[in-house]
Amino acid sequence: GENVEQHPSTLSVQEGDSAVIKCTYSDSASNYFPWYKQELGKRPQLIIDIRSNVGEKKDQRIAVTLNKTAKHFSLHITETQPEDSAVYFCAADAGNMLTFGGGTRLMVKP
């Protein structure tokens, strides 16, 4: 089955800096890669996703890159703000079953 590794597990940045979270996956059949943001006590919310036919996707301050050959994908957040503080999960989907990484706790210090 699919296995998704996520790094780092915690990330602390200063407000205005960039943050990068990296994930690797094992199943070459995976072709959909969403990223979720989960604030304390709340549901995971989709913030951006990318499909295997695209190498990069950007939405305002958030971007995701995908390298299918190396089986890794990354989340980039620029100009971080305190409200970006949360746990971020990457996931991979090979057949309508999401396999999640272990999560990254992002702390943005004002």
Partner 1 sequence: ETGVTQSPTHLIKTRGQQVTLRCSSQSGHNTVSWYQQALGQGPQFIFQYYREEENGRGNFPPRFSGLQFPNYSSELNVNALELDDSALYLCASSLQTGANTEAFFGQGTRLTVV
Q: Tell me how far, at minimum, the Cβ of 89 lies from partner 1, in Å.
A: 5
Number of shown-chain residues binding partner 1 (CB under 8 A):
25
Phi, psi of 22 (to 5 degrees): -120, 145
Q: Which is nearer to partner 1, 26 or 78 (CB)?
A: 26
Residue choice 19, 86, 89, 106 for contact with partner 1 (CB under 8 A): 89
In the complex, the smallest distance separating the C-beta of residue 15 from partner 1, rounded to whole angstroms, is 25
The sign of the dihedral angle between the CA atoms of 98, 63, 54, 72 is negative
CA-to-CA dists, residue 39 to 31, 34, 96, 104, 106, angstroms: 26, 17, 24, 12, 10
Minimum CB–partner distance for residue 106 and partner 1 (Å): 15
